[in-house]
Structure 1
Amino acid sequence: MPHPDRPLVPNFLLLILLFFSGFAALVYQVLWVRELGLLFGSTAQAAALTIAIFFTGLAAGGWFWGHRAHQFASSLRGFGWVEIGVAVTALGHFVLVDAYHALYPLLYATVGHSVILDTLAKALIAATLLLPAAFLMGGTLPLMVQHCVRYPDQLARVGTRLYAVNTAGSASGALATGFVLPLVLGFRHTYLLAIGIDFTVGLLAVLLSVFWVGQGKSQAIASNVSQQPLQPDRPPLSQARSPHLSLPLPLIWVTAFSSGFATLGIEVIWTRLFSQVLQNSVYTYALVLSTFLLALSLGATIANALARLPRPAPLLILSGLLLLVSSVTAVSPWLFYHSTDGLSYLGRDLGWGGYLLAIARGAGLVMLLPGIVLGAVLPYLMRLLEADPRQPSERIGRLIAADTTGAILGSLTAGFLLLPTVGAWRSLLLLAGLYLVTLTAIALSRFTVPRLIGAGLAVAMVILLTGINLETLQAVPIGTRASDRVVEVQEGSHATVAVVDAAGGGRAIRVNTYYTLGSSRNLHLEQNQTVVPLMLHPKPDSVFYLGMGTGITAGAALAFPVERVVVCELLPEVVALSQRHFTAWTRGLFEDERVTVYAEDGRNCLSRSGDRYNMIISDLFTPWERGTGNLYTLENYRMAKERLESDGMFVQWVPLYQVSQREFGIIARTMAEVFPQVVLWRGDLAPSRSIVALVGQNQAQPLEPQVIARQGRQLVNHLGVSDRAMTDDDLIALLLRLYVGNITASGLFDDSPLNTDHYPLIEYLAPQTHRQVQTGATRFLVGSERERLYEELRAAVTPEADPYLANLTPTQYGAVAAGYHYSRYAQLSDQGNEVQARSDLEKFQALSPPDAVRNLSPARVLLSR
């Protein structure tokens, strides 16, 4: 009599359990990658290490539980206990993460000098966090398959259905984590929700197993598809007679391995390609990932339909799938290029809802059909495994292990070998060729004339793919715009980075086509990001830069009598290209012995070191990009404060042309929560688009005007700048015109929410604002919006009442007022309001020293030779 724990096919309740199991698994994965990114740094290597260890746990779990699932009295009960185990082991995250945040700086101090030892330390930490839960997750599908599959010919029909539902749950988890849960619940409570889901799924499975065992001897268990009753005269699964394998088992495992390798490799490259044409926020990433997972789920559904066909032979269908997936992968570069209109920015002028629809449409056009075919290959291998006499769980477990092992190597190879060496377009063709190589191996497994012909055709197609001309795709190289003169492009493991001579003038660094990190055209504005804050500090001996860009900003520090400069830039490609192409403007940044440049995540670089600095300068970061929100959080500011000397200052540069009043208020409020005094300085006196510096002091102290004069005089004397006639009053006025107001004393943003690692408001709100600006629903802080912000600060705390300006003389208060009037003049004049503009210009001239009227940029005055 068959085991009562095996129904013919899964019923609706079991599908729901498996769906939510997949949902929770993707929530864990997304949060683990993020948490370990905060610990190790948001580098491509750290993310790859996290994914590799997670997938290793899945592969090992699939193999282990697949071998043992049939030994359970009830495999459904085993599934339930494994799910409960996932929930329990995941709880250890709350204990271990806090401990590792304290431990890792000590480990780095010990082994950080060695890349191998540092990587090993990271791997051990990640393994203790991820492996236990991932190992248990790897057993969920084999255990459920063991429960649901009763006879050999059910493996493909039942297994593909379970795989499809589980993958659909993963797609939903990725979408919910990207769009809803962190903003509503915060990351900590989102993680607790995933734990609660797993525990509930496990508990329900255990309770259902009691019902199944009790009912199994008295009645048949009907499925949601088949209503055939249980047939007691059928032999047990282990004794059922099966046909011979149509493909040797080793070749099935090789096919599964190759499928996993190519599928994850293609996913990595598609993600990189989409980064060239999207906002690259948490939302766009979630949409692309969810579309890919949905395609895999639909592919498993197609495999389910194919598994039901009595003819043709399974091997012929598998060969057709491999040929088809190779073909759709090979044409995907042209599909991507033309569906994005030659790598044009998707939904450029659309509001939030329209933008998301445009992304969904673009991702669907590029990924859905190829992804469905990709997703059909692995599940269909279950059809070939029906002839294997082993238990269903063992067959599925081995299949998962082979596929996941391939996925690990495929993602690493695509990200760290193929992209940097042959680029995205050619990488897709190589991965398409891998499917043909697999097809060739299958064709040659048994020497028949048709198979030999098929193998020859596959080899011919591989040769054809390697020789395809990609010039039409490379007319506009990835990482550039059509109007650029390309100097050099690097498709690296982190991003696609280009150095270009822009049509408007100046040499610039661009990341992923549409994000400019800096330009020599804005030389003095970028230098101001160093000159303004360093002139405020009496002795800025040591300076740390969180972010580098072109290197122009950090290079300006070398004009001051600094003793140590540390620069951390996330993208190694940016460091390499800056060193090769921007030395004319970086003042010896890469040769000066006082400077150390790290190609590392800046937050991680700062947190793991015990060094202290007089000044920490955080560069301009696009607030809506995925990952940059971590640089505006309460935890980041607290850590930075700990790395400052007692008289130190933390400088957060903010691009007003990329934030609304809401985001600016959140950032200002978050900094004010950490530093006893936060003040606001302009980075320029431009008509509309400006940058500002939020300067947080480790100790609340008033500004010393003579410090400004002394620092300015040192620059004038040391560099031999052209204008030697400037007095101390001129130098002081030069800087004071850039002062805006006192954030702390004003209280303007006291009611704004805090941006934290667990409630990353900037990361989730800024992308929405970015698109809402396009429809006029809100505005960035440019033009009149910027001036309104300045006016509100001035009205809340007048310069004369500002404790930060307590040491100023009446003339120096006039310099502050002069800056206020010039900013208004520039904005009004830009809008064509010449009457009011002239009034403000006259006030500016009256309040400014005669020799200083024409000098508006400190860097232009003090660093010009």
Structure 2
Amino acid sequence: MKKSAAAVSLLLPALGGVAALSWEVIWQLRTSLAFGVSASGAAITLATMMAGMTLGAALCGRFLKSSDQSNPLRLYGVLEIVIGICGLALGMMFGWLDDFDRMLYQTQPALAPVAHLVGVVSVIFLPAACMGASIPIFGQIGRRVGVPLSTLYGVNTLGAAAGTLLVAFLLIPQLGLQGTAICTALINCIVGIAACVTPLPRVDSATNGATKKSNPAFSAAAQMPAWDVLAVVFMSGFVTFLLEVAWFRALRAAFETTTTGFSIMLAVVLLTLGVSARCVASIKARGIRLETYLCVAAIAIFLGTPLIERLDLILLQFGNHNTPLNWFAITALLVGPAVFLLGLALPWHLSNDYSARGVGKTYAVNTIGAVLGAISAAWFFLPSFGFVHTAWIAGAVVLGTALVLYGKQVPAWCPAVGVVAFALAVYLDSGVGRTRILFSFPYGAHTVVAHHEGPDAATSAIEFENGSRGVFIDGFAAAAFWPTSHYMSWMGSLPALLHPEPQDALVICFGTGQTANAVRNEGLANTTIVDINPAVFEIAKHFPKNDDVLADPTVHSVLMDGRAFLRRTDQMFDIITLEPMPPNHAGVNALYSREFYELARARLRPGGVIAQWLPAHLVSADHARSVAGTFQDVFPNAALWADPADINGILIGCVDDDGDIGSRWPGLDHPRAGAPIPQRSLAADAIRKALLLDRHTLRVYAANAAVITDDNQLLAYGDRLSIKESGPRSTKLVHREFLLGQEPPPSEATDLRLEPTSY
């Protein structure tokens, strides 16, 4: 019976880990859809989740006073069922929060962040607390079946790693968000029911009590962690999450900020932590003390950072590296050693014979350290020091903690080697953020004009040898002044020329300011610019060709997620134009979904016009058609205009249906009296002729394409790897797809390639 109970006790925590990470992904997505994508929003969600887990672990540890007074496996089952039930209510609860946030922002905008916090707490705090409560319960279960707590913690973490990949590569692509939530809730319920009906070996209370009295290890002091234990587990949680945020910043720049890349990086960290916990028992048996492993972890941080800061240069030497397996291997080699060694600290001490209360306290302190590490990395360390120096600080904290807490017990060679490793890291500093940045594509020699490390992204103004400048966000060229960015000014001019009397414009995503400047030059009375990244407004002065558009009294900038602004505002506009990051970047699906276009349509006055960039060369042919089809699903009177200079496509749509859009150009045919005529790069006839697909041929082009929704997350979690693996497609090739409305033969797909600056 004990062997079968042990097997079940290993299987159920693993499945519980799968479900736990699935919920974390779902919570982050649901929160971003309800409140907008932002660093503060992500921090609130993370802090709420960690706070719930901390409180759950601490309270459950107090509740479980002794292993013979309750059925821990049954209690674990009840908690899993509660998590599943809470998950099933997510869609409805986030819908209410969406409505409440909009109402509060329109009446009391200063209270919106408070509503965000209260809303997230009300939705995810209880299930997060149930997750945290499972750790001290694992300790009680382990005693009954003879399995170390470190082993149960390890298989739970390995399950979480599997859950990360399962959600990203199978559940959301196949089932969508709601289907994934139902599937995850089903896993919770299956685990809960199995736990409730599985019997555990009985504990002889008389024998157990005699053992506790006779064995000094069971004294009250021995069953609670000492202060130095709590300091070590706090440090390990703090530094692990500090490094995760810092190093992920560099890895994202090399791999691009896609959900695929993030899921793989997170899975590597969780897998490494799980393996580390699983190995604790065998590592302890070798007799090497924990402080030695901590010193080696610091050395691994110092030696790993120079490689990570050169990752983009290293990858170029290996040719085609853009596959998930390569990303996984590279992340494991660079990040794995330090995370493995740091990950020993918590399960090392969890394997001590602490009481349930001691286990709960130990885990709670580690979790507090983790959340403080993540938040301080994003809001203090990265903005103040950059990711390279933040990693140095993390290594110094680990080495210093080992020396302070363990003193002479630390082998003499550890501090000496640690100092040498730190000196080597300083010597090999490549100047990221000062003399160079990491690129996701080989752009070549450059000068850093300005660099800002923000809570959620690194933003840089870069100048190349030919004098052209661009804005790079996490290594990706978000906007630039170079030949293949010719279309950006037309993102502003086109909707203004298609509207008879435009007065109020909304520009979502500022970039270098070309689109906003083009809108302003068309003579509108008011232009509102919305961007989530404050750094793009700060570095705008380094792009003189935007004619200092932000200083114009008719131009107003708003720091907010564009979708959240549309949902919250009661302003109406004549034109809306947007050029977000590429559709397959993390979080950007929300700006290409049907629900987003419906929000935009609701904020347009009669006759209103919307324009959106269609980066067909950066996505698969199917996804390009889906973007066009979803756009036309909400704006039936739509067309595709292609810039003759760079053949970039721009979708244009009108809320009215009293004539095909593009058949009339009021701004060209009847210029407004008294309004200055701006200097445009194309003559009137060329502008008209560049209308590539009218509403009828656009519908043919997008025929049978899947509609992008908030639920299916098609661009983020669909078939998104082909472009990253082979590189961006030729715009000439895409132009032929527009005209033919079909995928080109495979032999043609490799004929043409974009120059590096075509991003």
TM-score, L = length of structure 1: 0.79
Q: Which moved more, 1:235-244 or 1:265-274?
A: 235-244
- Note if contact 1:511-1:517 (Cα within 8 Å) is conserved in structure 2: no
- Note if contact 1:346-1:358 (Cα within 8 Å) is conserved in structure 2: no
Q: 2:705 aligns with which of 752, 758, 765?
A: 752
1:13 and 2:8 aligned: yes
Q: 1:216 aligns with which of 202, 205, 224?
A: 202
- Note if contact 1:323-1:435 (Cα within 8 Å) is conserved in structure 2: yes
1:499 and 2:485 aligned: no
In the alignment, the residues of structure 2 paired with residue 477 and residue 575 of structure 1 have an alpha-carbon distance, to the nearest angstrom, of: 21
Q: Which runs of 5+ in 1 are unaligned?
A: 218-229, 445-449, 724-729, 794-826, 832-865
TM-fit CA distance, 1:90: 2.1
Aligned residue in 1 for 2:756: none
- Note if contact 1:179-1:286 (Cα within 8 Å) is conserved in structure 2: no
TM-fit CA distance, 1:70: 3.7
Q: How does 1:652-671 map to 2 (within 5 A)?
A: 652-671=612-631
Q: 2:573 aligns with which of 592, 604, 613?
A: 613
1:506–1:521 CA distance, 2 compared to 1 (3 A): farther
1:241 and 2:218 aligned: no
- Determine helix, strand or coil for the equivalent of 2:651: strand
TM-fit CA distance, 1:760: 1.6
Aligned residue in 1 for 2:62: 67
In the alignment, the residues of structure 2 paired with residue 673 and residue 731 of structure 1 have an alpha-carbon distance, to the nearest angstrom, of: 31
Aligned residue in 2 for 1:331: 303
Cα distance per residue 1:470-506 (max 9 Å; x no partner): 5542276234654112212222222122211112431
Aligned residue in 1 for 2:230: 253
TM-fit CA distance, 1:53: 0.6
In the alignment, the residues of structure 2 paired with residue 494 and residue 105 of structure 1 have an alpha-carbon distance, to the nearest angstrom, of: 24
1:144–1:765 CA distance, 2 compared to 1 (3 A): closer
TM-fit CA distance, 1:621: 2.8
Q: 1:701 aligns with which of 658, 662, 669?
A: 658
1:497–1:346 CA distance, 2 compared to 1 (3 A): farther
Q: 1:488 aligns with which of 450, 468, 472?
A: 450
Cα distance per residue 1:415-470 (max 9 Å; x no partner): 111111111111111111111232233135xxxxx35x879975995798489625
1:563–1:237 CA distance, 2 compared to 1 (3 A): farther
TM-fit CA distance, 1:111: 3.5
Cα distance per residue 1:680-699 (max 9 Å; x no partner): 112x113xx52112112112
TM-fit CA distance, 1:701: 2.5
Q: 2:373 aligns with which of 386, 389, 410?
A: 410
1:371 and 2:371 aligned: no
Aligned residue in 2 for 1:321: 293
Q: 2:329 aligns with which of 345, 361, 371?
A: 361
Aligned residue in 1 for 2:745: none
Cα distance per residue 1:790-825 (max 9 Å; x no partner): 2559xxxxxxxxxxxxxxxxxxxxxxxxxxxxxxxx
Q: Which moved more, 1:340-349 or 1:372-381?
A: 340-349
In the alignment, the residues of structure 1 paired with residue 206 and residue 715 of structure 2 have an alpha-carbon distance, to the nearest angstrom, of: 61
TM-fit CA distance, 1:216: 3.4
1:31 and 2:2 aligned: no
Q: How does 1:433-582 map to 2 (within 5 A)?
A: 433-443=396-406, 450-451=408-409, 465=422, 469-470=426-427, 472-474=429-431, 477-479=436-438, 482-519=444-481, 524-578=486-540, 580-582=541-543
Q: How many residues align?
A: 732
1:504–1:516 CA distance, 2 compared to 1 (3 A): farther
Aligned residue in 1 for 2:267: 290
RMSD: 3.1
Aligned residue in 2 for 1:201: 191
Q: Which runs of 5+ in 2 are unaligned?
A: 743-747, 753-759
In the alignment, the residues of structure 1 paired with residue 412 and residue 251 of structure 2 have an alpha-carbon distance, to the nearest angstrom, of: 34
TM-score, L = length of structure 2: 0.89
AA partner of residue 653 (structure 2):
G
- Note if contact 1:479-1:498 (Cα within 8 Å) is conserved in structure 2: no
Q: How does 1:79-478 map to 2 (within 5 A)?
A: 79-112=76-109, 114=110, 117-149=111-143, 158-208=148-198, 211-212=199-200, 216=202, 233=207, 235=209, 238-239=212-213, 241-243=215-217, 249-308=226-285, 311=287, 317-337=289-309, 340=311, 342=313, 344=315, 349=320, 355-383=323-351, 385-386=352-353, 388=354, 391=355, 393-443=356-406, 450-451=408-409, 465=422, 469-470=426-427, 472-474=429-431, 477-478=436-437
In the alignment, the residues of structure 2 paired with residue 706 and residue 337 of structure 1 have an alpha-carbon distance, to the nearest angstrom, of: 50
AA partner of residue 235 (structure 2):
S
1:457–1:190 CA distance, 2 compared to 1 (3 A): closer
1:792–1:165 CA distance, 2 compared to 1 (3 A): closer
- Determine helix, strand or coil for the equivalent of 2:498: coil
Q: How does 1:710-729 map to 2 (within 5 A)?
A: 710=669, 718=676
1:22–1:236 CA distance, 2 compared to 1 (3 A): farther
AA partner of residue 136 (structure 2):
P
In the alignment, the residues of structure 2 paired with residue 722 and residue 788 of structure 1 have an alpha-carbon distance, to the nearest angstrom, of: 28
1:668–1:457 CA distance, 2 compared to 1 (3 A): closer
In the alignment, the residues of structure 1 paired with residue 5 and residue 399 of structure 2 have an alpha-carbon distance, to the nearest angstrom, of: 35
- Determine helix, strand or coil for the equivalent of 1:680: strand
- Note if contact 2:623-2:715 (Cα within 8 Å) is conserved in structure 1: yes
In the alignment, the residues of structure 2 paired with residue 614 and residue 141 of structure 1 have an alpha-carbon distance, to the nearest angstrom, of: 56
1:790 and 2:745 aligned: no
AA partner of residue 707 (structure 1):
P
Using the aligned pairs only, state the percent identity.
22
- Note if contact 1:437-1:458 (Cα within 8 Å) is conserved in structure 2: no
Aligned residue in 2 for 1:626: 586
1:295–1:709 CA distance, 2 compared to 1 (3 A): same
In the alignment, the residues of structure 2 paired with residue 46 and residue 642 of structure 1 have an alpha-carbon distance, to the nearest angstrom, of: 25
In the alignment, the residues of structure 2 paired with residue 508 and residue 103 of structure 1 have an alpha-carbon distance, to the nearest angstrom, of: 39
- Note if contact 2:256-2:474 (Cα within 8 Å) is conserved in structure 1: no
In the alignment, the residues of structure 2 paired with residue 705 and residue 649 of structure 1 have an alpha-carbon distance, to the nearest angstrom, of: 13
